[in-house]
Amino acid sequence: MSDVTDAPNFSSSSSGALRELAGLFLKLGAVAFGGPAAHIAMMRQEFVARRAWLSDQEFLDLLGATNLIPGPNSTEMAIHIGRLRGGWRGLVVAGVCFILPAMVIVLALAWAYVEYGTKPEATWLLYGVKPVIIAVVLQALYSLLRPAVKSWFLGVAGLAVFALYLLGVNEIALLFGAGAIVVAVENGRRLLDAAKSQILIAPFALGGLPLAAAAAPASFSQLTLFLTFLKIGAVLYGSGYVLLAFLHNDFVVRLGWLTDQQLLDAVAVGQLTPGPVFTTATFVGYVLGGVEGALLATLAIFLPSFIFVAATHSLIPKLRGSPLAASLLDGVNVAALGLMAAVTWRLAQDAVVDGLTAALAVIAAVLLIRFRLNSASLVVLGGAVGIAYHYIR
């Protein structure tokens, strides 16, 4: 494996390189529909095929590194590429510019939602959108199932997480607990050596903290909003759709600040916009705390990604080669699928309320899984069906 820290012979972070990074990632952030897999495919086309900044192997090395740390993979790929091309300033410029277009669009939609979301037309728009969102998450689960469930044991672990979450067990404890169990089962004696590894100790310690922090529903505060999203950004592994589980547990169950319907609406807006799915935090922040809440939530959820990329950039070869880290990732990934499935089950009860919404969910799932249609176009179509049904019923 090549060492990505030495491979590309890029110039220093000159103003020209930074402007180039800013322009490219603003463009990508504005047109990157379709979720993390589509974002990463666009980056490969731009930086490997078109500009030859990286080889395919170097690109894969970076992608593997993003899977070993929490946070949104496509955003972390942008941050890594910015670090390679423009140094520390490039790291910040690339990440911010990739996030910025989606944040601005989501902020505008959140304002419209708060101002007009209770109007009949908006209600029926969301009536048609919500079952399509359930199908989008099911398609993500389907596509992630094969690479994540590599053995019967991992499959059982995922089912156990699904059941335990529905029984009320904390999602972070499940995420890192599953990772710890898989490390123990797959590595046996190596687990004793893991106690000496500072890389692995920190995630296990973090997994237990939220249990003690759980409390009764609280009054809203910007500080709690910031710290909650900071925690989510610091521990969330897997697809951006795993964010559903964290948002549900923290903002619907623990804090009581959102309803299931508002959570689905937030995810729907995320599907209608380009860029990182994590900008759902912008929507939630605005609904709860206005513009200040939106900016704080966005900063909090993305800040850990910048820190993790900066901290691990030079450690990529060592992390990729560690069997303990690989086992931890296997356990965390399959637990993430279990969490996604459990939250989807709960949200489906709010989204699929009659024959039409059931039909929309099934048809959208078939079109996504069998024919690979674009999810954003299906979300728009679902909204159109909802509004049409409102006028013809």
How do residues 308-329 score in pLDDT, each as one tens digit?
999 887 775 565 567 777 787 7
What local confidence, expressed as pLDDT, does residue 35 receive?
65
Sequence-ordered list of residues with C-beta below 8 angstroms from that of 262, at least 6 positions apart, any chain = 287
What local confidence, expressed as pLDDT, does residue 5 receive?
43
Sequence-ordered list of residues with C-beta below 8 angstroms from that of 247, at least 6 positions apart, any chain = 232, 258, 263, 266, 280, 284
User: What is the end-to-end Cα distance of the chain in Å, rounded?
Assistant: 61
| Distance between CA atoms of residues 169 and 224, nearest Å | 22
- Please report how many Cα atoms fall inside a 13 Å half-sphere around the Cα of residue 101, on the Cβ side: 21
Query: Which one-letter DSSP state was computed for residue 11?
Result: P
What local confidence, expressed as pLDDT, does residue 198 receive?
43
Which of the residues in the chain have pLDDT under 70? Answer: 1-13, 33-35, 37-38, 64, 118-122, 144, 188-218, 238-241, 271, 316-321, 376
Query: Which one-letter DSSP state was computed for residue 117?
Result: T
Sequence-ordered list of residues with C-beta below 8 angstroms from that of 222, at least 6 positions apart, any chain = 289, 292, 293, 296
What local confidence, expressed as pLDDT, does residue 8 receive?
46
Read off the tokens for 362: 């099934």
Per the listing, tokens 């997994």 go with 207
Amino acid at position 246, single letter: F
On whether the CB atoms of residues 380 and 128 are closer than 8 A, the answer is no
Read off the tokens for 138: 């099911």
Nearest to 368 by CA among 354, 356, 382: 382
36-78 confidence digits (pLDDT tens):
766 787 788 788 888 888 887 778 777 767 777 888 888 998 9
Nearest to 133 by CA among 317, 340, 287, 292: 340
Read off the tokens for 119: 């109007």
How many distinct helices (H) and strands (E) make up the chain? 17, 0
Query: Which one-letter DSSP state was computed for residue 321?
Result: T
Q: Degrees (nearest 5) of the Cα angle 28, 34, 37?
A: 85
